[in-house]
Amino acid sequence: MIKISTQFDAGSVVVKDLTNPANIRLELRPDNASDFAQWFYFRLQGAAYQNCVMHFENAADSAYPEGWEGYQACASYDRQNWFRVPTEYENGVLTINHTPLSNSVYYAYFEPYSHEQHLNLLGDAQGSGLCRIDDLGCTVQGRDINLLTIGNQVESDMKIWIIARQHPGETMAEWFIEGLLGRLLDPQDPTARILLDRATFYIVPNMNPDGSVLGNLRTNAAGANLNREWETPTLEKSPEVFLVREKMLETGVDLFLDIHGDEALPFVFVAGTEGVPNYNPRIAALETQFKAALLSASPDFQDEYGYEKDAPGQANMTLATNWVGNHFDCLAYTLEMPFKDNANLPDDDFGWNGQRSLRLGEAMLSAVLNVVDDLR
């Protein structure tokens, strides 16, 4: 007898009918306090060597239906090693077709990054002796909002802020931070040593711990899309943004990176601040310099495909990158990684995954080093 369960960190799916392995009927479960639905993560048991055909019948009503085109679901037997499995999107239904080789198998929208991993990441960073953990306050459900401070914190230091996972389903963002931290805290890495001589890093590895544990795609426990809260955050609805923004106002910002994942586009790309009121030739030149450096640092990055650029003065100022870039007159970028694969460098077995995100995080420091002396 087959069984599907979700009672674990970030577990999420609605089971409609399990009677026939060749026609398992499922639905995407929306975020706990909003209508966004796209994230799934569940365990299938009792189906070893049976061809399982799993239909998500409400895929057309998901937050980003275009995200299913060319998408392959992730699967794992041990939650350590994830691989892609045959997936199709047709007539509004997403179908996973897989024959598990063991009695217990997990399926997910993307390689998960659990709250335990998050806490371990903080502990490992602190254990380096180069990093201080600060508690900024609590989420809606009472989880810790932690800031990692790395550097000398002297006035002359460049203030580099990096935040990730405002949208909790975008787990690749925290994988990216793991890679970036691993290199930044390596005392043998020359890039890290030079950077920490010239800059202090303020890093929030997970802006949305509640949404991450709840298995939400896009919102916190109160139903707020944190990346639409930066103009007027509140302690009631979006304490995560409110508290991080207060700390930014205290420290100042010379470079801001907001790390995300994009459902539809099969590329790694950035989005800048060309639509904000304070955009100017200095920032434009820094953007060009930064992108050229990142292109050189990682072949996974490209600058041909991405979001349509905002017209001058037309930026949505509720977005983190726009608000921070405009308020601090600094270089600010949103980095997007794919849920699908990187079409420029495809990998049929794994697609884009945690390790590739981690490697991009490592490479990012080379681009930061390229611009660090020009940020002011």
Residues 31-43 pLDDT 10s? 999 999 999 999 9
pLDDT at res. 78: 98
Q: What is the mean pLDDT of residues 124-150?
A: 98
Q: Which two tokens stand for residue 266?
A: 């099969």
Domains annotated for the chain, with CATH where assigned, are 3-108 (2.60.40.3120), 115-374 (3.40.630.10)
Alpha helices in 222-371 (DSSP H): 239-251, 281-297, 320-328, 354-371
Task: Report how far residue 186's alpha carbon sits from residue 260's, in angstroms, rounded to the nearest whole number.
Answer: 24
Task: Report how far residue 158's alpha carbon sits from residue 200's, in angstroms, rounded to the nearest whole number.
Answer: 6
pLDDT at res. 76: 98
Given 178, 240, 336, 362, the catalytic residue? 336
Task: Report how far residue 203's alpha carbon sits from residue 147's, in angstroms, rounded to the nearest whole number.
Answer: 6
Q: What is the mean pLDDT of residues 156-184?
A: 98
Task: Report how far residue 115's alpha carbon sits from residue 154's, in angstroms, rounded to the nearest whole number.
Answer: 32
Cβ partners under 8 Å of residue 81, min gap 6: none
Task: Report how far residue 173's alpha carbon sits from residue 185's, in angstroms, rounded to the nearest whole number.
Answer: 18
Mean residue pLDDT across the chain = 98
Residue carrying the six token digits 């937050």:
63
- Of the pLDDT bands very low, low, confident and very high (cuts 50, 70, 90), residue 98 is very high
- Of the pLDDT bands very low, low, confident and very high (cuts 50, 70, 90), residue 212 is very high
Residues 320-374 pLDDT 10s? 999 999 999 999 999 999 999 999 999 999 999 999 999 999 999 999 999 999 9
Q: What is the mean pLDDT of residues 196-220?
A: 98
Tell me phi and psi for residue 270, to 5 degrees: -125, 155
> Buried b / exposed e across 138-165, counting CB within 10 Å, b at 16+?
bbbeebebbbbbbbeeeeebbbbbbbbb
pLDDT at res. 260: 98
Measure the CA dihedral 115/135/234/229, to 10°: -60
What length is written for the chain? 376
pLDDT at res. 227: 98
336 part of the active site: yes
- Of the pLDDT bands very low, low, confident and very high (cuts 50, 70, 90), residue 313 is very high
pLDDT at res. 79: 98
pLDDT at res. 364: 98
Task: Report how far residue 65's alpha carbon sits from residue 37's, in angstroms, rounded to the nearest whole number.
Answer: 10
Task: Report how far residue 253's alpha carbon sits from residue 333's, in angstroms, rounded to the nearest whole number.
Answer: 13
Task: Report how far residue 190's alpha carbon sits from residue 174's, in angstroms, rounded to the nearest whole number.
Answer: 24
- Of the pLDDT bands very low, low, confident and very high (cuts 50, 70, 90), residue 92 is very high
pLDDT at res. 26: 98
Handedness of CA 308, 180, 79, 347 (dihedral sign): positive
List Cα–Cα distances, 67 to 39, 72, 333, in angstroms.
11, 10, 22
Identify the DSSP state of 23.
Answer: G
